Structure 1
């Protein structure tokens, strides 16, 4: 299960990069849609760091309980 969670954490980072690229491409043509993609990029970047922090915290707790 831990392997799959590690991949989903990095999926957030991929979505953030793709959203930032879409925002950059749409900035001059459709500014309102570009703001939506900027918001999505910020939220998914936050979720990447948030989930990675808690994943590491739970892994450390699991290692401490095994000792």
Structure 2
């Protein structure tokens, strides 16, 4: 399960993309910028959640 250490960074990539998308939408005056920022916030939350889960998983494996 070594891939769990790296999949958490996908969420950061999504967050960066949706922040960029939200800024572009604000500058163009389009609707939906708030939705992009909400999705970016959720992606950042998921990054920290997955990182905590991966650490917990590694600690459990080390104890066994």
Residue in structure 2 matched with residue 52 of structure 1 by the alignment:
51
2:17 is aligned to 18
Shift of 1:27: 1.0
CA–CA separation in structure 2 for the residues paired with 1:62 and 1:6: 14
Aligned partners of 1:33, 1:56: CA distance in 2, in Å? 35
Kindly report the root-mean-square deviation, in angstroms, between the aligned alpha carbons of the 2 structures. 1.1
Distance 2:24 2:59 in 1: 41
Structure 1 residue runs without a partner (length 5+): none
Cα distance in 2 for residues equivalent to 1:15 and 1:9: 10
Partner of 1:35: 34
Aligned residues: 63
TM-superposed deviation, 1:7: 2.3
Query: TM-score, normalising length from structure 2?
Result: 0.88
